[in-house]
Structure 1
Amino acid sequence: MEKQAITIYDVAREAKVSMATVSRVVNGNTNVRGETKKKVEEVIERLGYRPNAVARGLASRKTTTIGVIIPDVTDVYFSELARGIDDVAQMYKYQIILANSDESNAKTELVFESLLGKQVDGILFMGDMLDDNLRAKFAASNVPVVLAGSVDVTGNAASVNIDYISAVAEVTTRLIKAGHQKIAFVSGPIDHSINKDFKLKGYQQALEVAAVPFDESLVITADYDYQSGYQLGKMVQSVHATAAVVVDDEMAAGLLNALTDDGVHVPDDFEIITTNNSHLTVITRPQLSSITQPIYDLGAVAMRMLTKLMNDEKLSMNTMILPHGYVKRETTK
C-alpha cells in the first residue's frame, strides 16, 4: 500500500495546535512560545514531516526553486558549469529544476515556459543559441534570468563568461607565430552568436593583425560532438590546413583521432588548440593544448548573481568577465 505523505494538517492535529502555528515554527518565526515550538518540532521529527517548498512559498510568492536550462546534459563543459551552479544553489537553500534544451531554440522556448509554469524564482540559461525571440522572452519574464558561460550580443542580459574574442585571438596568434599561415577555425554552427560574433571575430582579428589573409574555406563547421569532429578530419586536410583552433573539446578530440588514423602526426605535422580545457583535454593522447577558463566558477558566479537579482539587489555590473589563460600540452610544439 502506498504510504501517504505527511501534511502540515497532520502535524497540527497531532501537536494540537493550529496550522498557522506549525507554519510559523517551520519558517523560523520567533513569535511562538518555546514550549509550543518544542512540541511542534518533536511531532515534525516523529512523523517525518518535510515541508513542500512550493507550498511554503505561497505566502511570500517564492518557491526557493530555480530553473536551469542546459543545451546538452552529456556535454562535459555544461555539466561542469552546472556543478558550480548547484553548489552555490545549495548554499543559499535553493533547489534546482534542470531542463535540457537539445540546442534547439524551439525547445528552449518550451522549457522556458514550462519552468515559468512551475513558478521558479529565477532561471539560469546555458547555451550557444540566443536569438531575438528568446531574448525578448527573457526580457519580458517576471523572474530574473542570468546567462552562464553564454553571451548576449546586445549586452542587456545579466551574464558571466570570459572574453571569448581575446581568448581565441591569443591562441590564433600563437599558431601564427609558430609559422602557420593556413589555420582552420573548427566551430559549431556559425549562426550561433557565441561563434559568429565572438570566437570567429577573435580568430579574424588575429589574422588581420598578422596580415594573414582570411580564407573562408578554413572556417569549418559541424555539431558539437566527438563524431562530428572525427568526420571533419578529411575536410581539414582537404583545405591544406596545418593547424586548427577548435571551439569544443569533444570536437577537438574527434579531429585529433581522425588525423591520427589518417597518419597525420600531431603536433609535428598538425597543431591543435581547443578552447574549454575540460577533463577531456588530458584524456586524449596526445593531450590537447587549450584555452583555460574557470568553468566551475562561471556557474558559481552566475548563480550568485541570480540570488542577488531574486532578492532585488542591484548588480555591480551586468556582465561579469572572468579570467582566461592558456595551457600548452602535447598538440602544440
Structure 2
Amino acid sequence: MATSIKDVAKEAGVSIATVSRVLNDIDVVNEDTKKKVLDAINKLGYRPNIVARSLKTQRTKTIGILVPDISSGFYPEIVRGAEDVSNIYDYNVILCNSDFDDEKEKEYLRVLREKMVDGVIYMSSSLQPEILDLINELNIKTVLVETKDKEERLPSVTIDNIKASEEITNYLINKGRRKIAFVGAKKESLNAWVDRFIGYEKALKDNGLELDEDLIFTKGLKVKSGYDAVEHFENSKKPYDAVVCASDELAVGVINALRERGKKVPEEVSVVGFNNNEIAELFYPKITTIKQPSYDMGSVAMRMLIKLLNKKGLEQSQFVLDYELIERESAK
C-alpha cells in the first residue's frame, strides 16, 4: 500500500497541514519541524501525488524544454545547463524535440499546456507570428534561448549572432579570401540562423565584396545539407575560395564533399562553422568556429524562468552572452 501524507504526519508527529506546508516550501514552518517532516518522508519513501498537488497549488513544479534538434551537438549542452539548475530548485523537466518543424512546435506547446507545465524553455526553429500568438494564447511563461522575438516581448538568452557571423566572415577576408559562399537557413526564417546570414552579408558589403546568390545554399541545417551545398556551388561553375557555415554540422558536410572532389581544405577552400560542438575539434581538419556558451545559456534561461514563476523581477529580460572565435586548421 502506498504511503500517504497522513502516514508522514503521524511519523513526524505533526499535522497534515504542516507536512503540506513543508512540501510546498512555505516559510512558516521552523527548521526543526521541517527536518522532522523531511526525515519522515525519506524514511517512508513518500512521493507526493503531483496531479493532486497541482490542483491545489496550480503548479506542477515541471518545466518543458523544446529543442529543434536533439541530435545536434549544440542543444544537449543547453538542456544540461537548464536541467542542472532545475534540479537545484526541485523542478522536473519534460523534453520535446521538434525536428525543425513549425507544426510540431505548435503541437508540443499545446501538449505542454495540457500537461500543466509551469513554464517553457523554448529553442525555436522559427519564431513565426503564429507561434508567438500561440504562446500568448496558451498563457505559458516562456524564456527563449539562442534567438529572440523582434519586439522582445519574451525574455531571451542569446549571443550577438550577427556580430559573430560578421567577425568570422571578416576573419576569412583578412586571410585573403574573396569569393565566400554561405550555407545556412532560409532568409525568411525568424531565428538565430538567419542572423548569421545577415552578419555574413554585412561583412561582404563592408569590404566591397559581391554577394553572389549562386554561392548561397539554404536548404537544410544538417550534415547532408552541407554536402549538398558543395554540389550546388560546383554546378553553378562560380569560383569560391571559402565557405561560411551556420553550424559545425554543415561545415562537416561541406568539408567531406570538397574532399571527395579533390579540393584541399584549407589550401584551396577555407571552411568555418558555428557553435563549437565537440565534432569541430575532433574532425579533420579541425574546424575554425564560433564558440557559444551553450551550458551557460541553458542555466541562465532556467534561472530567469524560475524567477518569473516565483513572481520575482528580472534584472534584465534580454541576456546577450559573450562568444569566442576559435581558430583551428580549416581556415588557415
* TM > 0.5 fold call: yes
Q: Does 2:208 match 1:211?
A: yes
Pair 101,28 (structure 1): closer, same or farther in 2 beyond 3 Å: closer
Whether the aligned pair in 2 keeps the contact of 1:25 and 1:32 (CA below 8 Å) is no
Q: Does 2:128 match 1:122?
A: no
Pair 172,48 (structure 1): closer, same or farther in 2 beyond 3 Å: same
Render the CA deviation track for 1:108-128: whole Å, top value 9, x for unaligned. 111101111111111110122
Matching residue's letter, 1:306:
L
What is the deviation of 1:66? 0.7
Whether the aligned pair in 1 keeps the contact of 2:184 and 2:193 (CA below 8 Å) is no
SS of the equivalent of 1:93 reads: coil
- 1:293: which partner in 2? 292
SS of the equivalent of 2:205 reads: helix
2:70 equivalent among 44, 66, 73: 73
Render the CA deviation track for 1:273-294: whole Å, top value 9, x for unaligned. 1111111101110000001221
- 1:189: which partner in 2? 186
Q: Does 2:130 match 1:133?
A: yes
- 2:44: which partner in 1? 47
What is the deviation of 1:312? 1.7
2:172 equivalent among 172, 175, 182: 175
Matches within 5 A, 1:254-293: 254-293=253-292
What is the deviation of 1:78? 0.8
TM (normalized to structure 2)? 0.90
2:151 equivalent among 154, 162, 177: 154
What is the deviation of 1:230? 1.9
- 1:246: which partner in 2? 245
- CA RMSD in angstroms comes to 2.5
Q: Structure 1 stretch 115-124 or stretch 13-22: which is displaced more?
A: 13-22
- 1:98: which partner in 2? 95
Pair 14,195 (structure 1): closer, same or farther in 2 beyond 3 Å: closer
Whether the aligned pair in 2 keeps the contact of 1:188 and 1:195 (CA below 8 Å) is no
SS of the equivalent of 2:330 reads: coil
Q: Structure 1: which 5+ runs fail to align?
A: none
Matching residue's letter, 1:296:
Y
- d(CA) in 2 for partners of 1:171, 1:42: 56
- 1:7: which partner in 2? 4
What is the deviation of 1:104? 1.1
Pair 18,315 (structure 1): closer, same or farther in 2 beyond 3 Å: closer
What is the deviation of 1:41? 5.5
What's the % identity of the aligned pairs? 37
SS of the equivalent of 2:290 reads: strand
What is the deviation of 1:71? 1.1
- d(CA) in 1 for partners of 2:282, 2:240: 25
Aligned residues: 329
- d(CA) in 2 for partners of 1:331, 1:167: 18
Render the CA deviation track for 1:2-38: whole Å, top value 9, x for unaligned. xx54332554577787643442454466558978984
What is the deviation of 1:198? 1.4
Whether the aligned pair in 1 keeps the contact of 2:244 and 2:273 (CA below 8 Å) is yes
Whether the aligned pair in 2 keeps the contact of 1:128 and 1:150 (CA below 8 Å) is no
1:143 equivalent among 124, 140, 144: 140
- 1:83: which partner in 2? 80
Q: Structure 2: which 5+ runs fail to align?
A: none
What is the deviation of 1:160? 0.6
Whether the aligned pair in 2 keeps the contact of 1:243 and 1:272 (CA below 8 Å) is yes
Q: Does 2:229 match 1:232?
A: yes
Render the CA deviation track for 1:166-207: whole Å, top value 9, x for unaligned. 111111112122222211110133332226751111111111
- d(CA) in 2 for partners of 1:187, 1:37: 55
Pair 197,221 (structure 1): closer, same or farther in 2 beyond 3 Å: closer
Whether the aligned pair in 2 keeps the contact of 1:67 and 1:123 (CA below 8 Å) is yes
Render the CA deviation track for 1:133-180: whole Å, top value 9, x for unaligned. 001122334331000112222322211101111111111112122222
- d(CA) in 2 for partners of 1:314, 1:21: 29
- d(CA) in 2 for partners of 1:211, 1:35: 72
Whether the aligned pair in 1 keeps the contact of 2:244 and 2:271 (CA below 8 Å) is yes
